[in-house]
Amino acid sequence: MHELALCQGLIELLVEQGRVHGFTEVRSVTLAIGALGHVDPEALAFCFDVVSEGTLAEGAVLTIERPDGTAHCVGCGSDVTLASRLDPCPRCGSSQLMVTGGQDMQLREMEVR
Partner 1 sequence: MCGACGCSGQEDANTATGRGDARGRADRASDDATTDRVISLELDLLAKNDALAAANRRRLLAQRTLGLNLMSSPGAGKTTLLVATIEALVDRLPIGVVEGDQATNNDAARIRATGVSAIQVNTGQGCHLDARMIARALDHRIAPADGILFVENVGNLVCPAAFDLGEAAKVVVVSVTEGEDKPLKYPGMFAVADLVLVTKCDLLPHLRFDVDALVANARRARPDVEVLTVSAQTGAGIDAWLAWIERARARLRDGSPRPGRARAAADVVEEG
Residue ranges that bind partner 1, judged by CB under 8 A? 1-2, 4-6, 8-13, 17, 21, 23, 27-28, 31, 36, 38-39, 41, 44-51, 53-54, 59, 61-64, 74, 85-86, 95-99, 104-113
- Supply the minimum distance, in Å, between the C-beta of residue 29 and partner 1: 9
What SS3 state is found at 103? coil
As a dihedral over the C-alpha atoms of residue 70, residue 72, residue 78, residue 79, rounded to 10 degrees, the angle is: 30
Q: What is the CA radius of gyration of the chain?
A: 17
Closest to partner 1 by CB, 76 vs 96, is: 96
